[in-house]
Amino acid sequence: MQQNGFESMRNRFFIFNHFIKTADDRMRAALYFLQCYSMFQPSERSEQDKMYNEISITYLEEALKSDSTLHFPKEEYLELCQLDRKAPLDVSQTKVFGKDIFIGYHRHIICYSFGNNLKDFPIFGDYLIEEIVEGEKILFTNCYDPGVGIIVKIEYNEKNAVHNPAWFENCFGEIKSIDIGPNGVCRYAFMGMVLDRAGQKMFYYHAEVLIGNERYTFEFYYADRVQAQQINFMLGNIKAVLPKVEVVNEEVKSNFIHNIFKKFKKISDKLGIRKKDLSLNKIRKFIGSNEKSETLTINELYNFIEAVSKFNSQQISRIDEGYKQYFGLLLSGVLSVINFGKLEPLQSSSDYEYDEDIIKKMKHSLYESWEIYDTKSVFETISWLLNEGHSKKYESLKYTTLDEAIQEKYKKIKKDIETENYSDDVYTTHGFRDKEHYIETLLKDEIKELQHNWDFILAFRGLNVKNIRAWDIGRAAYLVWECYFFDYLKKFEAEQLIDTLAEVTAKEFSNFTEFACSYALGRIFWYFSISKKNNINKEMTEIVYELLEAFEILFSSNDGLWAVNQWWNIDESNNKTCR
């Protein structure tokens, strides 16, 4: 890790870093990280594990180099070096801590947060498997075979959470209480023995935790009495501390995070939540269609894009550098409006109080959609969108014939296979007569896809839309915003990418209306190409309806972002340019 990056990381996670001068200070800092942060997991598992391992190792080694006579956590240090694949220093002459000293609170313990008030709930294990069944979160750990099972449900009350006595009906023995502080109540009881899906007997407990307006109900399942003793530890570590209410800008912050949550909810809903008839009627009214079919036709899709070209946008553009950043963000307009209802400036999630569980799920959603999980993957994705994206597939078909496209595909497949230089018995082993038979089989599948996409190209060739680059650029602009929000990008990196997108777009298009038509065609082409169906299904109706709603907001004559804002122009010679 680079030294300057490491220092900033230490300053962020250990606020007294600038007071660390002596060997004792360094040892205390190391023990602090070992006790409070380190999961004792391989650095390859996650960026977080790598960071905590490296910080702990560095403090320990700095302390050792400063004073080799200090008591030293030898076993923990050697374990961390092994987990980080780092050669350890010689610790054979160090003084060791006594066996009664426990180091590493998070060793085989996961701290999990539920709702708004129950933070850092300790669960034995190295990782959790999560399931959501009928609104209930089910957690399984890897700590034992079988692992500990936990089912949790969170209920909210307008004022204060209320105890539900029915929850403990038919319990065995007394209902026990655990002190979790003046702001909360915690009770639990043994409910008997049950069988899991594999027929294994499990010890079954109920627990109820009331904090503020939230009521948490837990079901714990343990394989034996030794495991069951964990319940006292887990519930006993709950601290019912109500979150501090921040008055300043609270409305702005809560609204923004609410919109963030809406975005995640929207992703998880996966379309289909609107009334289909209303969606279809609005689209047909917009394009002036009298069709009665249950789904849009290919001609109606064509007419939709033509109708989008009638939206009015500014024909005068600007070249001032100060406007370029804002213009670059405007390119994310469709996704910004769909997800937030407006354009949001660049901002980091660290500026807000938020539910970590929601952010975690949103990051996972980003990874599932784009395989983005760090800075490198962000730049790789943006580079792909700018240099290839879906535009490459579209362009390869638009300016050629189907026969030419098939010939090009045949040459590519043949070249790739000849590069491998497999012997004939490899092909016969896998059920092919020879190499040519294998090539023919691959080409047959490719021809189906080419024919499918070619049908689309032919149907839309008459449109006055030169490419679908806006579809790739618009997504890239929104991804920059999203990745900066998740701290995958630094501010200057996000701004540089936005500048690049602005410059590329200014060379490709002349106004927001052109950009919108290109975006709409790209969005429709993308879904058509992955659906592998020549019929236009109901999901396509939802896609077009979503585009229409976004465009109506963006091109609103009163305050639409793409109606009232000027285009940015990189060419100073353009006579329609103003400063």
- If asked whether residues 335 and 475 sit together in one domain, one would say yes
- If asked whether residues 512 and 433 sit together in one domain, one would say no
- If asked whether residues 361 and 411 sit together in one domain, one would say no
Q: How would residue 24 be classed by pLDDT, with cut points 50, 70 and 90?
A: confident
Whether residue 409 lies inside any domain: the answer is yes
Residue 125 sits in a domain of what CATH number?
A: 3.40.1000
pLDDT computed for residue 342 by the predictor: 75
Tokens 């449109």: give the residue. 463
The answer to whether 189 and 174 are in contact (CB under 8 A) is yes
pLDDT digits (tens, 9 = 90+) for 520-547: 999 988 887 766 555 567 788 888 999 9
Which amino acid, residue 244?
A: K
Whether residue 552 lies inside any domain: the answer is yes
Which amino acid, residue 92?
A: S
Which amino acid, residue 413?
A: I
Whether residue 547 lies inside any domain: the answer is yes
- If asked whether residues 344 and 481 sit together in one domain, one would say yes
Q: How would residue 495 be classed by pLDDT, with cut points 50, 70 and 90?
A: very high
Whether residue 481 lies inside any domain: the answer is yes
Report how far residue 39's alpha carbon sits from residue 97's, in angstroms, rounded to the nearest whole number: 20
Whether residue 270 lies inside any domain: the answer is no
pLDDT computed for residue 96 by the predictor: 75
Which has more confidence, 426 or 405?
405
Report how far residue 164's alpha carbon sits from residue 166's, in angstroms, rounded to the nearest whole number: 5
Helix, strand, coil percentages for the chain (3-state, nearest 5): 50, 15, 35
Report how far residue 332's alpha carbon sits from residue 345's, in angstroms, rounded to the nearest whole number: 11
Is residue 6 scored above 70 in pLDDT?
no
- If asked whether residues 227 and 120 sit together in one domain, one would say yes
Whether residue 302 lies inside any domain: the answer is yes
Give percent of the chain above pLDDT 90. 19
Nearest 5 degrees, angle CA 534-CA 540-CA 544?
A: 135
Range(s) of the domain holding residue 297: 275-368+468-578
Tokens 């947060």: give the residue. 113
Q: Tell me which residue of 112, 146, 150, 145 sits closest to 131, measured CA to CA.
A: 150
Whether residue 385 lies inside any domain: the answer is no
Total domain count for the chain? 4
Helix (H, G, I), strand (E, B) or coil at 129: strand
pLDDT computed for residue 7 by the predictor: 43
pLDDT digits (tens, 9 = 90+) for 330-364: 999 999 888 877 788 888 877 766 667 777 778 88
- If asked whether residues 231 and 124 sit together in one domain, one would say yes
For 118, the enclosing helix (H) or strand (E) is strand 118-124
Last residue of a domain, one of 96, 124, 147: 96
DSSP state of 157: -
pLDDT computed for residue 92 by the predictor: 84
pLDDT computed for residue 548 by the predictor: 93
pLDDT computed for residue 533 by the predictor: 54
Q: How far lies 42's CA from each of 50, 76, 110, 374, 465, in Å?
A: 7, 13, 15, 18, 51
What average pLDDT does the chain have? 76
pLDDT digits (tens, 9 = 90+) for 237-283: 776 655 433 333 334 444 444 454 444 444 334 333 344 557 888 99
- If asked whether residues 413 and 543 sit together in one domain, one would say no
- If asked whether residues 11 and 82 sit together in one domain, one would say yes
pLDDT digits (tens, 9 = 90+) for 148-185: 677 777 776 666 778 888 878 878 778 888 888 777 88
